[in-house]
Amino acid sequence: MQQPVSANSLFSFSPGRYVPAITAFGLLCLCFSPLLVNFIWGNHDWLPLIHGTPLLSGLIEGRFSQYILLNLLLDGKILPVLNILLGFIFYTAALFLLYRRFFAFSVRPAIAALFLSAAAGLPFAAELLYFHFITFSLLSWPLIIALSLLCCQKASSSHPVIFTLCGTLLLLFALGGYPASVNLFVISAACFTILSLTAQPASGRTIIRQTLPFAVCLLLSMAGLKLAFSFLQEHHYMMQLYNSQASTVPELTVKLPKILKSAFEDFFQPRPFLSPFFKMLISSITLTASATFCFFAFAKSAPSADAPDYSLLCIWKKVLALLLIASLPLCLKFSAWLAKSAPDAPFAMEDPAAYMARTDFYGYPVLTLFCLFYLHRFGSQVLKNFAYLSAVLLLIISINLNLNFAKTHFFGFSAENKLLERLTARIQSHQDFSRTSQYTVIQAGEIPLRSRYYLPSANEKYGYYMLQAPYTRYWIAFEYYNFYAPYDYVREGTAIRPEEITPQMADFLTKRVKTWPSADSVYVDKNYAVIALTQRGKELLTRQFELLSRQLPVSASPDANRKFSSQSSEPQIPSQTPRHNPEAPRQTVNGNMP
């Protein structure tokens, strides 16, 4: 049997040992090269691009560690190339540590490079590249969690209290930046336990000693996260959001069948840039590795020279291993299972599985990595060949899907910025526009354009951040209308004050308003610039204006969450909205998106 990799050999200088990591990093750079060369950002990045991300700006969502690494390494700035590049380095290093040190797989560098590149290049990373202000931190948490896993692994053999506490602090640090990253810890620990049960038949006491630090670390870090949320909410630093409360034990029991159903369906459900063939390939790798173990676990002799004799395993170990394999789908959706309520993003209200898409980055790559190495280590020659072929196909497909995502991302961003230029030109060329005035821009509707450059496959679902989210949001119009202007002419807020309604505005909104690009789609006076961008937005705008004109406390903006009192002297929208909450609900009076 192959010997585990020692810590000393891992960190000793040997260029050939790091070829797999370098290869995987190079593949990531190739897949997303259009995004490295062209600076592209999401709809919450306009202000952070200029002002950076303050260290404590994530507290409003409870993400107290979200910007620590970014401020430590890049002074909180969003920089072209460097943010994504550093994130890829951290992510690749995490996968390398997991395969080389945590799972202790020892294979030839060429095979390791193939498997590591196949796992690192999976298109799940594309889901994280939309919001530039959190891209680096989201890509960095796998490395922090990998270090936490190594501490827990070390705790079983040396200084258990010290290493368990170190692992807990590292995991809490990652969860404080993005709670859903717990999926990576859980699925890695489950795979490690499976490996411990199968690679070397051990006593029950040994297995408990090996796995107990992981359970203690997880429980302590989750308790610490809950305490941190309670403290932040008590002192009014944090809003009540979807990631702030955990389900009770009875609620977890009730939710379990639905979560398992969603997890199993997700193995085969195509999404934008995750084609049916890609999903089938991922599923076949996972199912083959699981079926291989299930078959060998009850075999009467060792399946290959490198595999242990499974007949030596007693029945309780076999049952435990099978339960662990059956729990892997739940581990992939662990954060969604723990969450008390459905995500508050409007695209996920009807189907919570839509939210899970973003968390797949913290599950599928590690699971795929483990399955490929598992098949190579314990499988017959046929299964080894299957692993090689699957990894090659994954590489080819992932490169294609990732480059397609990068192309669509670039074209959509360019098109929406050109539309923004046209809207700005129409406002500033209006006869009533004055460069000395400060305007409230009321943009009724949005036009996401990425989907125009993408050919979907059959039965696709979800993909909000990968395809559907626009690069501008009507409720923060001041950010992007001021971004390219030589001076700030748009003030913060999206509300029309009843006392500022003029006869000309009333006539425009009740009789003349048409949708873009009609000449009557834009209205400008000394206080407001109103744009009817879409038919749906126009209908909502006129309907709410009728209420507003009767001086009811309803905003004329297509966003019912931003109501203001007619007695207020200033619009109240910004103070009610978390600055860095891309998933906060944005609903209209009738509960629909414009």
DSSP state letters, 438-487: -BEEEEE-----GGGG----TT----IIIII--S--GGGHHHHHHHSSSS
Residue 549 CA from chain centroid, whole number: 42
DSSP string, 86-148: HHHHHHHHHHHHIIIIIS-----HHHHHHHHHHHHT-GGGGGGSS-HHHHHHHHHHHHHHHHH
What integer best gives the mean pLDDT of the chain? 83
In a domain, 531, yes or no: yes
Q: In this predicted structure, what is the pLDDT of residue 342?
A: 52
Q: Residues 464-490: pLDDT tens digits?
A: 888 888 999 999 999 999 999 999 999
Task: Answer yes or no: are the C-beta atoms of 119 and 369 closer than 8 Å.
Answer: yes
Band (238; pLDDT cuts 50, 70, 90): confident
Asked whether the bond before 470 is cis by omega within 30 degrees of 0, the reply is no
What's the domain count of the chain?
A: 1
Q: Residues 34-50: pLDDT tens digits?
A: 999 889 999 999 999 99
DSSP state of 558: S
Q: Residues 497-514: pLDDT tens digits?
A: 888 888 899 999 988 999
Band (341; pLDDT cuts 50, 70, 90): low
Structural domain span for residue 543: 411-576
Interhelix angle 364-378/276-297, rounded to 10 degrees, is 50
Residue among 164, 148, 129, 156 at smallest CA distance from 211: 156
Residue among 518, 512, 510 at smallest CA distance from 534: 518
Q: Residues 391-411: pLDDT tens digits?
A: 999 999 999 999 999 999 999
Q: In this predicted structure, what is the pLDDT of residue 14?
A: 64
In a domain, 464, yes or no: yes
Q: Residues 16-40: pLDDT tens digits?
A: 688 999 999 999 999 999 999 889 9
Is residue 304's pLDDT more than 80? no
- Mean predicted confidence (pLDDT) in 221-250: 82
DSSP state of 511: I
In a domain, 546, yes or no: yes
CA distances (Å), origin 31, targets 252, 397, 400, 454: 39, 11, 8, 17
Q: Residues 273-285: pLDDT tens digits?
A: 999 999 999 999 9
Token digits of residue 338: 């723990």
Q: In this predicted structure, what is the pLDDT of residue 592?
A: 31
Is residue 338's pLDDT more than 70? yes
Bigger pLDDT: 548 vs 333: 333
Residue among 86, 83, 107, 81 at smallest CA distance from 16: 107
- Mean predicted confidence (pLDDT) in 545-562: 53
Complete edge-to-edge strand list for the sheet that includes strand 522-524:
440-444, 528-532, 522-524
38 torsion bin: left (phi>0), alpha (psi -120 to 50), beta (else): beta
In a domain, 450, yes or no: yes
Give me the sign of the Cα torsion angle 380, 381, 387, 393: negative
Q: Residues 72-107: pLDDT tens digits?
A: 999 999 999 999 999 999 999 999 999 999 999 988
Is residue 557's pLDDT more than 60? no
DSSP string, 336-387: HHHBSS---SGGGSS-THHHHHHHGGGTHHHHHHHHHHHHHHHS-HHHHHHH
Token digits of residue 346: 């409007």
Is residue 243's pLDDT more than 80? no
Q: In this predicted structure, what is the pLDDT of residue 207?
A: 80
- Mean predicted confidence (pLDDT) in 454-465: 85
Highest mean pLDDT among 47-51, 194-198, 344-348: 47-51
Band (300; pLDDT cuts 50, 70, 90): low
Say how far apart CA 379 and CA 289 lie, in whole Å. Answer: 9
Say how far apart CA 444 and CA 211 lie, in whole Å. Answer: 55
In a domain, 62, yes or no: no
Question: Number of helices (H) and strands (E), helices first, in the chain?
Answer: 22, 3
Task: Answer yes or no: are the C-beta atoms of 76 and 55 closer than 8 Å.
Answer: yes
In a domain, 359, yes or no: no
Is residue 313's pLDDT more than 90? no
Band (12; pLDDT cuts 50, 70, 90): low
Q: Residues 515-534: pLDDT tens digits?
A: 999 999 999 999 999 999 99
Is residue 133's pLDDT more than 90? yes
Q: In this predicted structure, what is the pLDDT of residue 202?
A: 63
In a domain, 462, yes or no: yes
In a domain, 551, yes or no: yes
Bigger pLDDT: 344 vs 378: 378
Q: In this predicted structure, what is the pLDDT of residue 573?
A: 32
Task: Give the residues across from 246 on adjacent strands.
Answer: 339
- Mean predicted confidence (pLDDT) in 254-271: 88
- The pTM for the full model equals 0.86
Residues 6+ apart with CB under 8 A from 521: 513, 514, 515, 531, 532, 533
DSSP state of 178: -
The number of C-alpha atoms within 13 Å of 52 and in the hemisphere containing its C-beta is 13
The runs of H, that is alpha helices, within 3-63 are 7-11, 19-31, 33-37, 46-51
